[in-house]
Structure 1
Amino acid sequence: MNPTQNFDNSQALILIVDDLPQNLQVLGSILRKNKYQIAVATNGQQALDVLNNISPDLILLDVMMPGIDGHEVCRRLKEQERTREISIIFLTAKSETADIVKGFELGAVDYVTKPFNATELLARVKTHIELKKNRDVILNLNEKLEEKNKILEKLAVTDSLTRIFNHSHIIDRLSNEICAAQRHSDSLSITMFDIDHFKSINDTYGHQVGDDVLILVTNTIKDALREIDIIGRYGGEEFLVVMRKTDRKGCFIASERIRKQIEALTWEQEKLHVTISGGIGTIEGTEETAATMIKRADECLYLAKENGRNRIECGEID
């Protein structure tokens, strides 16, 4: 299907630039009869001024004008991002190859020689108007495709329920942060959080309540973090938080604050009480990897559960 097959000429705006009133009259008459909208300028400077306020689909530009000639107008328009893509057809009394080539080198798409032949003029105008409209359609489709691709890219790294990073992406981010911390000799810590007795919550109150718990716990943790921190859903009821430029003690303080905020949450279900346990891992040495940091955090998390849950374990703080 041709995207311009239903195109109405009255939708197209053409700027005519010529210093001779009779040329403006002839061109305007031809184009108006074919339902094109017309704007005019009588010299190069006026054309540049007019183009500050309108964005035509096509410019018919006389080459020989006093002051700023057509070639210079074209050069300036092609230098500006806002006007760079406007198609320009030169109007010229010259038919020498050198002049025609110069026009194309400056960025013109076509030329029409004087005196004007109405049939030829309309054919060239129609061609370039339709090309412009086709470009607009393609550009619009590309923009929509880019938007959809961005959505798909986000979905590929996002957990569908909690809207935070999913397992694979939070691991990738942790690996990147370890490299950055090692490169700049920065501290880096992680906390592995786990919702206590989550299976029991699902069994007692149902999976919808379980989902509500996951979402509210996620949002509570997110709200307590700094902008530079990163959170992801590591597993079913487990969350991995990466804290940049944070040592073991700082991570423990931040994690303990989060634990208390979760413990203080209130729920519609009168007997529901949600707590979390946490285990901390801190970067150690140049051979550190995401796997080794997570292993240490997981060991501390296991210790927190063994010691009664609803607590943070981090090993010895210097």
Structure 2
Amino acid sequence: MRFSRIVLEQSLQKIGYSDIRLATSGEEALAMATERRADVVLADWVMPEMSGLELLGAIRRLDEQRHWYTAVLLFTAKGGNEALLEAFRHGVDDYLTKPPDHDELAARIYGAGRIASLHNALLQTTDAVQAANRELLAANQIDTLTGLGNRRYLELRLEAMLLSAQTRKSGVCLALVAIDHFKQVNERYSYDVGDEMLNNVALRLRNAVRPTDVITRHGEDTFAIAMAYQEPSHPRPDLFARLVETAGVRPYASDMGNIEITVSIGAHCHQPGAATEPLSDFIGTAEENLSAAKAAGRNGYVYR
């Protein structure tokens, strides 16, 4: 057993992994995972005292308590579809037949790590959204249609971001995203479809930005995204081009069929180290840029 663990550790080191912890039993592995979270756990299906499937169940219960996801791979000498089905019925992410091939091990570990990263990114985003919504509901700063913050919430958060930027010599950017001719959507399809459209745009914008960025509803047809950044070269103009593509290029599915819209974006940024503008001037400049973007045509942006 010890020889197998050492060989496994050496194989993992060869493919670039360094944070490797070795356990001599399922109980010890569970204790290690309890003390410090793991992204991926490799375990033998057959172990003394606690089997691999029992360890898997214990890790799943532990993950539920701390809102985390650990990818679990089992090594087994068992073959056939029945063993495979049994493993997946218990919630295993993947399994390897002993002795594992070096290339197969690398591929399976990479895949398991990606599964864990995706799960945990989703959990982190969900936690951030839920925490923000609790804060908004408590302070009456939420838009009841989309569940986003309202204009008052944006002003409070943006003011705090600008104060922090002044202290830390960092940057802040505000992007206003407006649906072009939104009134025509309501008139042509109905207000219910218009409300559905607003929620769909809000969802696409949420998925396009970082969990730490602040998204609010700024007006009837307009959303605001406040972003903090450290790099002097950010934000790059391709960010706004990507937001245009995300929100306004692909059609939206509805009960009335696919609906195509366009968006206009006006953005204004506080550069690291620059003098801080009053909040009203900062928002006002972004609104002026939005008006310029609308005047210039659809699916475009103005950032200056």
State TM-score, norm by structure 1: 0.49
1:308 maps to what in 2? 297
Aligned equivalent of 1:261, options 236, 246, 249 = 246
2:175–2:267 CA contact under 8 A, matched in 1? yes
List runs of 5+ in structure 1 lacking aligned partners: 1-149
Counterpart of 2:228?
A: 244
Is 1:251–1:280's contact at 8 Å kept on the other side of the alignment?
Answer: no
Q: For 1:80-107, what per-residue CA distance to the aligned partner results, in whole angstroms no more than 9, with x for missing partners? A: xxxxxxxxxxxxxxxxxxxxxxxxxxxx
- Cα gap change, 1:215 to 1:271, in 2 (>3 Å): closer
Matches within 5 A, 1:183-202: 183-202=167-186
Larger CA deviation: 154-163 vs 193-202: 154-163
Contact conserved, 1:164 with 1:232, CA < 8 A, in 2? yes
CA contact (8 A) 1:248 1:281 kept: no
Q: Which amino acid aligns with 2:168?
A: H
Is the 8 Å Cα contact of residues 243 and 251 (structure 1) preserved in structure 2?
A: no
Alignment of 1:227 with 2:227, yes or no, is no
Residue 157 of structure 1 corresponds to which residue in structure 2?
141
Judge conservation of contact 1:191–1:251 (CA < 8 Å) in 2: no
Alignment-derived partner of residue 282 in structure 1 = 269
Q: 1:1-318 alignment to 2 at 5 Å?
A: 153-154=137-138, 156-245=140-229, 250=235, 252-262=237-247, 263-268=249-254, 269-270=256-257, 272-283=259-270, 285-315=274-304
Q: Distance in 2 between matches of 1:277 and 1:260?
A: 11
Contact 2:197 2:252 in 1 (8 A): no
Shift of residue 286, structure 1, vs aligned partner: 2.6
Residue of structure 1 in register with 2:20 after alignment? none
Q: CA separation in 2, counterparts of 1:289 and 1:240?
A: 18
Partners in 2 of 1:192 and 1:151 — Cα distance? Answer: 23
CA distance in structure 2 between the aligned counterparts of 1:209 and 1:307, rounded to whole angstroms: 27
Q: Closer, same or farther in 2 for the Cα pair 1:210/1:313, shift >3 Å?
A: same
Q: CA RMSD in A?
A: 2.1
Closer/same/farther in 2, CA of residues 297 and 248 from structure 1, 3 Å limit: farther
- Shift of residue 271 of structure 1? 6.2
SS of structure 2 residue aligned to 1:160: coil
Amino acid at match of 2:267: I
In 1, distance between residues paired with 2:262 and 2:180? 6
What is the aligned-residue identity percentage?
A: 26
Deviation at 1:245? Answer: 0.5
Q: Distance in 1 between matches of 2:135 and 2:284?
A: 33
Indicate conservation of the 8 Å contact 1:194/1:278, yes or no.
yes
2:81 is matched with none
- Count of equivalent residues: 166
The structure number with the bigger radius of gyration is 1
